[in-house]
């Protein structure tokens, strides 16, 4: 097998995508194109994640990484088929990789030969949707990340890799957000290595059902409860 030919999508300078791109490039997996969304949603999501990982090291900017590695970048006002497809429809793509985007549906998902993949900062199927580390602590779900295929649902596609993040006593909410962000990048890197080795057919598996709903962004009262639970060391799944 050969390294996959892929396009990388992310919200403009999203720390999630910055870390994932760093991980991919460390193994020689370079996208043929990066498509950034520059929008009010991108600004809001970027600032939200910056707050969630405050106090932790952030990967180099997309601008810096692309300049150093000669990767072309285009900017769109929104990641949807009408704005993205004109940039990729003449390409022979194996994959599209999501590195921190809004929910994307439509022609994009059906275009690449071997699918669209995403890394989610929560364990699937238990913790679908937004603010996964917060809801994981709140509901005593194990914390972790999952690399999965994208379909027209929300975090419902087949799983490639899933791994728990070891939560130690004394960790903060910001530590869990950062830990799952980095782990998500690591899983995507490992997934592309596995693709190169021809292992995906044996790895991919359906998710199954979840006893929990698809979560939305956690309100402040939930975040306060999560921080208190961690401070009091009452979370159910510590490793120490």
| Residue 162, domain member (yes or no) | yes
Provide the domain limits for residue 132.
Answer: 6-231
Model confidence at 2, pLDDT cuts 50, 70, 90, reads confident
In this structure, which long-range contacts are made by residues 224-227, counting pairs with CB atoms below 8 Å and at least 24 apart in sequence?
Answer: 225/138, 226/134, 226/137, 226/138, 226/173, 227/172, 227/173
**Torsion on CA atoms 15, 10, 116, 167, rounded to nearest 10:** 20
| Residue 211, domain member (yes or no) | yes
Tell me the per-residue pLDDT of 6-65, one tens digit each, with 9 for 90 and over.
Answer: 999 999 999 999 999 999 999 999 999 999 999 999 999 999 999 999 999 999 999 999
Tell me the per-residue pLDDT of 69-99, one tens digit each, with 9 for 90 and over.
Answer: 999 999 999 999 999 999 999 999 999 999 9
pLDDT reported for residue 164: 98
| Residue 240, domain member (yes or no) | no
Cβ atoms of 122 and 148 closer than 8 Å: no
| Residue 104, domain member (yes or no) | yes
Q: Which helix (H) or strand (E) holds 119?
A: strand 116-120
The CATH number of whichever domain residue 97 belongs to comes to 3.40.50.170
Tell me the per-residue pLDDT of 159-170, one tens digit each, with 9 for 90 and over.
Answer: 999 999 999 999
In the numeric block, which tokens belong to residue 78? 């929104």
| Residue 237, domain member (yes or no) | no
Question: Mean pLDDT across the chain, nearest whole number?
Answer: 96
Among 207, 187, 182, 9, which residue's Cα sits nearest to residue 95?
Answer: 9
- Based on the structure, what is the number of domains in the chain? 1
């Amino acid at each position: 097998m050969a390294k996959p030919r892929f396009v990388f999508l992310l919200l403009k300078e999203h720390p999630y995508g910055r870390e994932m791109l760093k991980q991919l490039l460390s193994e020689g997996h370079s996208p043929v194109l990066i498509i950034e969304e520059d929008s009010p949603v991108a600004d809001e999501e970027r600032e939200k994640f910056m707050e969630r990982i405050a106090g932790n090291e952030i990967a180099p900017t997309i601008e810096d990484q692309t300049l150093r590695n000669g990767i072309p970048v285009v900017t769109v006002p929104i990641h949807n088929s009408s704005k993205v497809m004109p940039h990729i429809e003449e390409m022979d793509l194996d994959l599209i990789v999501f590195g921190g985007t809004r929910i994307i549906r439509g022609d994009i998902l059906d275009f690449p030969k071997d699918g669209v993949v995403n890394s989610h900062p929560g364990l699937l199927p238990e913790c679908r949707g937004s603010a996964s580390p917060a809801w994981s602590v709140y509901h005593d779900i194990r914390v972790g990340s999952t690399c999965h295929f994208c379909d027209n649902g929300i975090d419902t596609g087949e799983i490639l890799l899933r791994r728990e993040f070891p939560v130690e006593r004394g960790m903060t909410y910001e530590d869990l957000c950062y830990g799952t962000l980095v782990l998500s990048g690591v899983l995507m890197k490992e997934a592309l290595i596995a693709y190169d080795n021809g292992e995906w057919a044996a790895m991919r598996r359906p998710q199954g059902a979840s006893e929990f709903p698809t979560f939305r962004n956690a309100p402040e009262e939930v975040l306060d409860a999560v921080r208190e639970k961690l401070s009091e060391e009452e979370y159910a799944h510590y490793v120490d």
